Amino acid sequence: MRRGLVTVTGASGFIGSHIVANLLARGRTVRATVRDSSDPIRVDHLKALAMADGGSLEIVEMDLFDGASVNAAIAGCTDLIHTAAAVRISAKDPQRQIVDPSVIGTQNVVAAIDAAGTVERFVHTSSTAAIRPMSWRDGETLTTETWADDATLDGNPYGLAKVEGERVVRNWHAASDPQSRPRMVTIHPSVVFGPPMSKIHLRGSLAFVMALVRREFPVVLPMQVNIVDVRDVAEAHVRALTRGEDAGRYLTVSGDMQFKDISLALRQAHPELKTPTFTLPYPAALVVSIFHKRLSLAWARQHLRRRLYWDATPAERDLGMTWRAPQEALLDSMPVILENDWV
């Protein structure tokens, strides 16, 4: 690999931060984009990262809706890892707050790639949400052959954002000249656990853990959680710069745990947290979902007491990935949270 400049968008996010750390540990020259470079919660942890010989870090501001700032962030880079997106499943204005950052933002990113003319490798962070349809069979195993084409703005805005954002990338790549376009790969993580670097990292997938630690639910729901370690997700992104099929889609999922088993593992490792252990019976969970501000009856019927699996063997084969166990990812999330009193 030519050791040119790597731009990482969304570098202050959970996945983006670990990608930057991975690249710096390899001695790469990294340009990290953040929304506000004056905000300590977004940049201090990046500035503190260790780097191998030859490594360097430049932090720049970028607004996905501002084409000029996107162009400036991508200009001159040979490698681009695009993680920036809105990581939320609901909002008052889901089109503007969830879908548009993925769609309009990604449109600006691929336009900037064309304008730069220097990008040789492009890795785009998608999600299992771009693959999982709203209707799936209990016990089903999904592969990257599937798309969440039934995602709607009302029923699944995050899935819709991930589907449409990835379609932007793939349609652009397919329409580009095969002789001059960058190689392109998309990475599809499930729920991501592992060590946070900043308190803002508790807002995404780690909200599952924090809901238990903070006892936001006095009971646990009968729910399966598919898990992958953030360090493995970062490694998959970096490997995908040079490995895997051009235009490949790669799932990053290490396994699954029941919500009750997540809570029990936390309680065993940290008994002082007193995480809940009683699983709410399914009929009662349906009733609770009607009145809970963060749940819905439709969501409960779709997810509770059901199991869904993912085929991540292509990432193992093509990217050479091995996975940390789900429980390791879970328990490794906690030391930083406790040391910094983020509970």
Annotated catalytic residues are 162
For residue 181, report the phi and psi dihedrals to the nearest 5 degrees: -70, 155
Q: Which residues of 162-193 are buried (b: 16+ CB within 10 A; e: fewer)?
A: bbbbbebbbebbeeeeeeebbbbbbbbbbbbb
Q: Answer for the pair 184, 173: CB distance below 8 angstroms, yes or no.
A: yes
User: Phi/psi at 172 (nearest 5 deg)?
Assistant: -65, -45
CA end-to-end span of the chain: 42
Give which of 117, 201, 125, 235 is closest to 169, Cα–Cα: 125
Q: Which residue has the tokens 């789900």?
A: 326
d(CA 343, CA 332): 15
What would the DSSP string read from start to end of 217-258?
SSSB-SBEEEEEEHHHHHHHHHHHTTSS-TTEEEEE--EEEE
The Cβ of residue 195 has, within 10 Å, a number of other Cβ atoms equal to: 19
Calpha distance 19→23 (Å, rounded): 6
Task: Kindly state the helix (H) or strand (E) to which residue 193 belongs, with its residue range.
Answer: strand 191-193
Spatial separation of the C-alpha atoms in residues 245 and 195, rounded to whole Å:
29
Within 10 Å of residue 70's Cβ, how many Cβ atoms?
Answer: 28
Q: Is the dihedral of CA 133, 164, 185, 60 positive or negative?
A: negative
DSSP 25-48: HTT-EEEEEES-TT-HHHHHHHHT
